Structure 1
Amino acid sequence: MSDRTFHAPLAWIDGQWQREVLMRVDAQGQWASIKVGADVPAEAVRLEGPVLPTLVDAHSHAFQRAFAGLAEQRDSDSDDFWSWRDRMYGVALRVTPAQLKDIAAQLYTELLAGGYTQVCEFHYLHHREDGTPYEDEHAMAMALAEAAQEVGIGLTLLPVLYAHAGFGQTGLRETQRRFGTDAAWVWRACQRINAAGLPLVRAGVAVHSLRAAHEADIRALQALVGDAPVPIHVHVAEQQQEVRDCVAATGRRPIELLAGYGLDPRWQLVHATHSRPEEIAAIAASGAGVVICPGTEGNLGDGLADLPGWLAAGVPMTVGSDSHVTRGWVEELRWLEYGQRLGLQRRNVAARPGVQASTAARLFDACVAGSARAAGLGEWGLRVGARADFLVLDRGASGLAGLPDAALLDGLVFASQGAAWQQVYVAGQRRAIDDAGRRERFIGTMKALWG
């Protein structure tokens, strides 16, 4: 790709709107220069709306896109995360690599439309339907990589360590037979993906949870990873029952237990819903980040994370679409704040008077700042050295029309219906945010799975 130059009338840079911004993309698809108050050279592509950086979707289970909308009926006295999980296994036990590629291609197109240009795939669906390895043991991971390359979205694949069914248990349930791995398998998968050198694709590792990977498993993975600069993700403290089971088995709460493993800035704690102030302080001291998934956490009845506590402690934060009942960051940020308002019966919980009075801006800036480490990238956003990913807003869209510049982000997050951008760019190249062929393949796969 040759160098390209873009000119934006307005661009969100370092937490504020800047005018007349000239942005040059180098041959590698990264920002080579960004100049504020610049004239428009003849060769520049003139963008017709304000420019925003994109976000990383820091937590995804792509196969669960085929289950979204299929768990919203109740035929028993109770329904919670654990009953949802048992039903979700219905798709986990059936989907093939070809079907997974079709599901992921549709999902990744939708994520682009939702303003994400990099997705962290927390990938634990590894083996054949009967639990035996594929001839290519990483066939499912490669299906995800192929889907991402077809769509043109960035992908951080996180092969998952998943060894046990619960605290104090050895081995997996029969319904978990496709998930089983050990530390060596996970590290081998990470190395293979990174060695392939696929454009826009990289790998880290993940630990499914403290119930699915016990101390020996986690220590073994840490020893293999060593100081390698790869992200390490883990589900933790999502459910109250998980907290109770962890205390019963280990005498410690999940975040407290995890902090004892020696975390560092490579670690990302997914959900971290049920925390205490001293646990937040321990995570802040380690440099690790949190990934909150408000859409899924609301859908599953998980509870509300301590957003004020995580923000006040300065813990790096991102959001994720997780089970994909929501697939855009605007809705995630909206519900991240609205959940707090409902729980605390206050408004503008995330705002920081005197420093960042805009609620949407504070949440968005926090997620931009946390995106690079969550995805295992060096830089993120509208800054030199970062990949040249950006959104072009439509000022005539619902929620933005007529707003002053200073209110654009708040209008986008709290007053818009659907995506309010005209264009999505990845590595300086415009991406399609709809594709009839992918959608038809997805519909065919859904019919095959669900009849």
Structure 2
Amino acid sequence: MRKLHAETALLPTGWKRDVEIAIGDEGRIASVADGAPRSRDPEAVAILLPALSNVHSHAFQRALAGLTERRGPGRDDFWSWREVMFVFLQRLGPEELEAVAAMLYVELLESGFASVAEFHYVHNAPDGSRYANPAETGAGIAAAAQSTGIGLTHLPVYYAQGDFGGVPPGEGQRRFLNDPGSFARIVESMPQYLTRADDRLGIAPHSLRAVTPEHLDAILSNDPGGPIHIHIAEQTREVDACLTWSGQRPVEWLLDHAGPDARWCHIHATHMTEDEAIRLARTGGVAGLCPSTEADLGDGIFQFRAFTEAGGALGIGTDSHIGTDAAQEIRLMEWAQRLTQRARNIAAPPNGSTGRTLFDATLAGGAQALGRDSGAIATGKWADLVALDADHPTLTGKTGDDILDSWIFAGDRSCVDRLWSAGRLTVKDGAHVDRDAVAARYRSVMARLLA
């Protein structure tokens, strides 16, 4: 049993002083008490929060960040970016994928994320052939998570067609492709690599444009019982193509034909009508927003007001990892709404804190989307905890919800002092405990990839 003492901590009942937390050997919170004097045993921190969950990651794309900022001969958009991504991906083998994932996970932990949902669709070799081990690349993702200490919800992705209506996939998609049988073998192979008590396994139909209705039914009828994630309505071209194919918009079609519920996380869900947003909210599922990626790719802006006023759950992710900072993602979520509505403090209720409102929402929605028993400093929850540096210029002198407002809207990863994932101390004094070794391996891999 280990103990932490926080001068101030955010508990489910609000901000409390002198909080003592006991963490069991299995990584769960054994007890929480406020008003507790510091004894000789506990480790002391100044500001303690429950740590966030990252609802959407394509780990390999961290290596691509910054390499897509040259304009092509015509109009650049998501679809031209995707072609660049396809080409770059051909250089990455399992060893490179694992090294890139480990570097990313170090960065996520250092920014305040204790866990990540890995939306993993790179299943095949660069020439499209299958590895002897169906879970060859997924095993590397699990190894990267275990070596860095981040909590993992692994989501093998099903991908079978190039566009709506059974359009054949292109050469750039050959590393992603499966049929229901080969996909089942991947899912069945993964549990042997997910060996920690807090590891979770779900599935992810990539998108309606990449999965036929028949295959969607097949994989949903054989899912392992964990979270279900899907890309949905990210681009207007996707919406138009879905209308041409089915006569319905993507979210509308999904709601009418797949019966999504609270286990589902709908990634992006950008282009919805107000009615779709309300209907999606009422399913109990999570909208997984990735604000820095959505801005980088020119996706569009989420139907925030209609969705949240209908009680919709929100989560944040970093997707392509053009940004890897938890506070920045929450900030950009709010700022996008401010730009379109030409107003301030959109998310907050009257007289409420915007930072606290968004932190609470993404904390709860993230835990739900990952199927992770976390999201609060409370007995029985995983000890996913983040300590902020009270001496940081952005935080000094701040108390209560001003701490969250300052970290989210004026701070960044440099405000993070320590982080525990399921009781595993992964970040100390602002740096991952194994940063140097992970970064050295990453630099070696990048030198080969960019040679």
TM range (shorter): over 0.9
Alignment of 1:30-429 (within 5 A): 30-47=28-45, 49-199=46-196, 200-225=198-223, 228-260=224-256, 261-353=258-350, 357-429=352-424
CA distance in 2 between partners of 1:76 and 1:37 (Å): 64
The 2-side partners of 1:194 and 1:380 are apart by: 24
CA distance in 2, matches of 1:71, 1:219: 36
Unaligned runs of 5+ in 2: none
- Could you tell me whether the CA contact under 8 Å between 2:384 and 2:421 is conserved in 1? yes
**Superposed displacement of residue 191, structure 1:** 3.3
Give the C-alpha shift of residue 264 in structure 1: 1.2
SS in 1 for 2:367: helix
Q: Distance in 1 between matches of 2:341 and 2:185?
A: 45
Which letter maps to 2:444?
A: G
Q: CA deviation at 1:166?
A: 0.1
- Compare 313-322 and 434-443 and name the one that shifted more: 434-443
Q: Give the CA deviation at 1:195.
A: 4.6
Distance in 1 between residues matched to 2:278 and 2:241, nearest whole Å: 23
Distance across 2 between alignment mates of 1:437 and 1:103: 13
Q: Relative to structure 2, which stretch is displaced further, 182-191 or 131-140? A: 182-191
Equivalent residues of 1:399, 1:417 under 8 A apart: no
Alpha-carbon shift at residue 171 of structure 1 (Å)? 3.4
1:446 corresponds in structure 2 to 446
Q: Return closer, same or farther for 1:348/1:146 CA change in 2, 3 Å cut-off.
A: same
CA deviation map 1:258-281 (0-9, x unaligned): 112111111110000011121122
User: Deviation at 1:123?
Assistant: 0.4
Aligned equivalent of 1:21, options 19, 26, 35: 19
| CA-CA distance at 1:19 after TM superposition | 1.2
Give the structure-2-normalised TM-score: 0.95
TM-score normalised by length of structure 1: 0.95
Q: 1:61 to 1:131 in 2, by over 3 A?
A: same
Measured after TM superposition, the shift of residue 76 of structure 1 is 1.9
How large is the RMSD of aligned CA atoms in angstroms? 1.5
CA distance in 1 between partners of 2:3 and 2:412 (Å): 31
User: Does the CA contact (< 8 Å) of 2:374 and 2:383 recur in 1?
Assistant: no
Q: What is the number of equivalent residue pairs in this alignment? A: 444
* Secondary structure of 1:50's aligned partner: strand
Contact kept, 8 Å, 1:60 with 1:322, in 2: the verdict is yes
Structure 1 range deviating more: 298-307 or 192-201: 192-201
More off after superposition, 439-448 vs 135-144? 439-448
Distance 2:423 2:199 in 1: 16
Q: Is the aligned partner of 1:431 residue 2:431?
A: no
% identical aligned pairs: 37
1:107-149 CA distance string (max 9 Å, x none): 1101111111111000000111110111112110001111111
The runs of 5 or more residues in structure 1 that have no matched partner are none
Tell whether the 8 Å contact from 1:123 to 1:159 is kept in structure 2 after alignment: yes
